Structure 1
Amino acid sequence: MAPRAYYEPAANGVERLPTELSMFHATPLVMRAPHWHAQVEVNYIVRGWAHYRMSGHEATFQAGDLALFWGGLPHWLDDCSEDLLYTGGHLPLVHFFRLRLPSELQARLMQGATLLSRATDASDPVNFARWNEYARAGDAMKANLAVDELLLRLERIRFDPFLLLPDPGLVRDSAEFDHHTSPVVVRICEYIADNFREDIDSTDIAVAAGVHPKYAMTVFKKFTGMTLNDYVNLMRLSYAQALLMREDSNVLQVAMDSGFGSLSAFNKSFRKVAGTSPSDFRREVRCRPAVTPPARAPEAVQRI
């Protein structure tokens, strides 16, 4: 019997592209261990089944299931059927914050809940396949349509029955999962998700997680590959990009609302991640369709 193939994060993979949207339509490989990426993940199961160990709970997705979860917390595709085919995308926070979903629901997802909808129909596999094809086409207009249609599909979830996992009555300790990831990282991510727009630093984060600041910085870097400061800035910048897409956006106000203490700090961080100034980004957005046309990128990865 041939050795089992496993998913291995690549240097230029989704884990290292926090500001880019990627679409996929594939037969996935199981993972050796949990991974983490700073996007919200969308999974639609075309056939077969997939089992995930999330942060604090487990979930099995069956054919026809549509799932949404925050990839910023460690998660692990540890088992699946041999015929599994799934499709979906990794949504940067700039797109996630554009979704017209209840704020409480968005908060629950950012804190680690998994949204599972079984209110799907025969149009979903057709649509997801088309969105993936459009994202790969290298055509800006097609890529815009793919993103817009995907967001609209996700917004429809609020009108149908769905589950938020885990059910508080069914939460169980997951010692095996904790062996691979640190519960301290989970507490850090939860605190940052709740407070990234406030004036927080590594000391505040460490106190909330119940550890020494030096340990918090070390363990977070170990499990996520990012510093605490970079992660907080990523959250703020993604949120800021969403605010800049609004017609009435004011750069200074966006900086303050996103958690930056000064306009200069905002401009420096924004340019470092986005490659342009907030003012130029806002100007370009207003001259384009609702979703900024992505630059040409390999496969189905689109730069925002």
Structure 2
Amino acid sequence: MAESKISRTYYVPEANGVERLPTALSMFHTSPAIMRAPHWHAQVEVNYISRGWAHYNMSGHEVTFTEGDLALFWGGLPHWLDDASDDLIYAGGHLPLVHFFRLRLPSDVQARLMQGATLVTQATDGADPINFARWHLYTRSGDPMKASLAVDELLLRIERIRFSPYSLLPDSRPVADAGGLDHHASPIVVRICEYIADNFREDIDSVDIAVAADVHPKYAMTVFKKSTGMTLNDYINLMRLSYAQAMLMHDDASVLAIAMESGFGSLSAFNKSFRKVAGMSPSDFRRDVRGRPAVQMAVQSAPDRPYN
């Protein structure tokens, strides 16, 4: 990867950024800063490269997006924008699973993305940079109608990917999908995701979730696992970990207090879950993040207002 000709600026998550708001749909249009380390969040990320190029370290593979590329990947696995051209401008959004599972995508695409694959298409045109810029402005306008239209148009744009050539990277990753979502299962997964989004910081279990989704607990567990590759507990923990990650970056509360605030029943459960995703303890993560030297922030657009 080429070295930048100018001094690097680095990404510093905001106190109310995507990590802290795992249930929010947010959009962006910016010149991003390089990341010093991987992060994760409980949304599917959409990137459209308006100018330049971006290199990501994903979970298990690397990928470079170039001008005109439209890409999707699951943000619940650690990923890292570790290099980019000095002129990079990208746009896109973070889609909670309640939106992602409303998309009419091929079942193998949904399954592969949830397993860590990256979808990339170069079948874009001159309307895309204009549309992504408008959707970003609409979601930040404060007008609920404009925000709703922006979300609807973005989802329709993503659905159109199926009609053009696209790649799922890495190509060698097998598709663990036994038939994919059907018309009956998809609304159930959406109801499950909605309930977990509203209640992940509470003490909830499969029975609570099944009652909310109006299905049997065993069926709720089966259909969610088949659709996402995760158990219900995996997804609840991911929502909690995303929220806790942001608190560790910004709040001065103790690790125990953060564990409780995020919905974990004990410090040991929090530590175990956090190590599984981050590869280190919450205390080491906080020390690593806060121990980095201060850096100049990149000039970016005003903070996005999340749209639920």
TM range (shorter): 0.5 to 0.7
Shift of 1:167: 1.7
Among 5, 9, 14, the alignment partner of 1:10 is 14
Alignment partner for residue 253 of structure 1, among 214, 233, 236?
Answer: 214
Equivalent residue in structure 2 for 1:26, among 30, 37, 49: 30
Out of 161, 166, 170, the residue aligned to residue 162 of structure 1 is 166
8 Å contact 1:18–1:39 — kept in the other structure? yes
1:85 to 81, 86, 89: 89
State the distance in 2 between where 1:155 and 1:97 align: 11
Q: How far apart, in 1, do the equivalents of 2:190 and 2:77 lie? A: 13
Write the deviation string for residues 135-181 of structure 1: whole angstroms up to 9, x where unpaired.
00011110110000000000000111000001219x9xxxxxxxxxx
Structure 1 residue 240: Cα displacement: 5.3
> Could you tell me which residue of structure 2 aligns to residue 300 of structure 1?
304
Identity of aligned residues (%): 65
Residue in structure 2 matched with residue 96 of structure 1 by the alignment: 100
1 CA distance for matches of 2:305 and 2:145?
A: 15
Tell me what 2:118 maps to. 114
Alignment-derived partner of residue 193 in structure 2:
238
* 2:26–2:94 contact (8 Å) kept in structure 1: yes
- Aligned-pair CA distance for 1:127: 0.5
Indicate whether 1:51 and 2:55 are aligned: yes
SS in structure 2 of the partner of residue 168 of structure 1: coil
Whether the 8 Å CA contact 2:98–2:190 is kept in 1: the answer is: no
Aligned residues: 207
Residue equivalent to 1:65:
69
Q: 2:135 aligns with which of 131, 143, 155?
A: 131
Q: CA 1:139–1:159 in structure 2 vs 1: closer, same or farther (change >3 Å)?
A: same
Within 5 A, what are the aligned runs for 1:253-272? 253=214, 256=217, 257-259=219-221
CA change 1:15–1:255 in 2 (3 A) is farther
Greater relative CO (CA pairs within 8 A, separation 6+): 2
Residues in 2 aligned to 1:121 and 1:162: alpha-carbon distance in whole angstroms: 14
- Which runs of 5 or more structure 2 residues have no equivalent in the other structure? 179-188, 198-210, 223-235, 241-301
- Alpha-carbon deviation of 1:12? 1.6
Q: RMSD between aligned alpha carbons?
A: 3.6
Post-superposition CA distance 1:171-201 (Å, at most 9, x none): 9xxxxxxxxxxxxxxxxxxx9x99xxxxxxx
Decide which moves more: 6-15 or 59-68. Answer: 6-15
SS at 2:87 equivalent: coil
The structure-2 alpha-carbon separation of the partners of 1:23 and 1:118, relative to structure 1 and needing over 3 Å to count, comes to same
Query: Which deviations, in whole Å up to 9, do the C-alpha atoms of 1:111-143 show, x marking residues without a partner?
Result: 000000000000000000010010000111101
1:37 aligned residue (41, 57, 66): 41
Q: Is 1:149 the counterpart of 2:153 in the alignment?
A: yes
| SS at structure 2 position matched to 1:23 | strand
What per-residue deviation string (whole Å, max 9, x for no partner) do you get for residues 214-270 of structure 1?
Answer: xxxxxxxxxxxxxxxxxxxx998426589xxxxxxx94525745439xxxxxxxx9x
Ranges in structure 1 where 5+ consecutive residues have no aligned partner: 172-190, 195-233, 243-249, 261-268, 274-297
Relative to structure 1, the CA distance from residue 31 to residue 102 in structure 2 (aligned partners, 3 Å threshold; closer, same or farther) is: same
* Partner Cα distance (2:169, 2:216) in 1: 34
TM-score between the two structures when normalised by the length of structure 1: 0.61
- Residues 89-109 of structure 1 show CA distances to partners (whole Å, capped at 9, x for unaligned) of 000111001101112210100
Q: SS at 2:221's partner residue?
A: coil
